[in-house]
Amino acid sequence: MDTRIEKRVGIQATPDRLWDVLIDFPGWSRWNPYETDVEGQLAFGAPITMTETWPDMAPRPVDGRLNEWQPLAQLVWVEKRGWLFSTVRYFEIEELDKGSCILATGMMFQGLRAELFMDKHRGVIREALGDICDRLKVVAEQG
């Protein structure tokens, strides 16, 4: 069974501006305290690594693969977390009007062990994703 956690925020910035912030992997520390030390290249199937530190959980290395990306629209990576557990992590940009967008960020958990993880950590991850949205909004709107 797949489960999802997602947060959305309206941002007064162009898709170009949001995309530039998202693909600046070394610059994520300006707005994302939960996924740090991000390294990777923007290419289909390319490795992406980072340290993931959700509230109330120990830091852990992430070794994922960029699964999908579409300029100005989405950035998606997948991580296999063992035999019965994988995650899909994403950012999506939807332009509403010139100079304003909706940003969605979330995680999909897949596999039997994923349900157990979700049941235990859903609340803190949801709050952290909201914080990521709010911080990214500030950086993107500053131009």
pLDDT given for residue 1 in this prediction: 58
For residue 77, give its domain range.
2-142
Instruction: Return the pLDDT at 4.
Output: 87
At 117 the pLDDT is 73
CATH code at position 70: 3.30.530.20
* Helix (H), strand (E), coil (C) string for the chain: CEEEEEEEEEECCCHHHHHHHHHCHHHHHHCCCCEEEEEECCCCCCEEEEEECCCCCCCEEEEEEEEEEECCCEEEEEEECCCCCEEEEEEEEEEEECCEEEEEEEEEEECHHHHHHHHHHHHHHHHHHHHHHHHHHHHHHHC
What is the pTM for the complete model shown?
0.92
Q: What is the number of domains present in the chain?
A: 1
Q: What's the confidence (pLDDT) of residue 82?
A: 74
pLDDT, block means (10 residues), the chain with 143 residues: 87 97 96 97 96 93 95 95 86 95 94 73 92 97 88
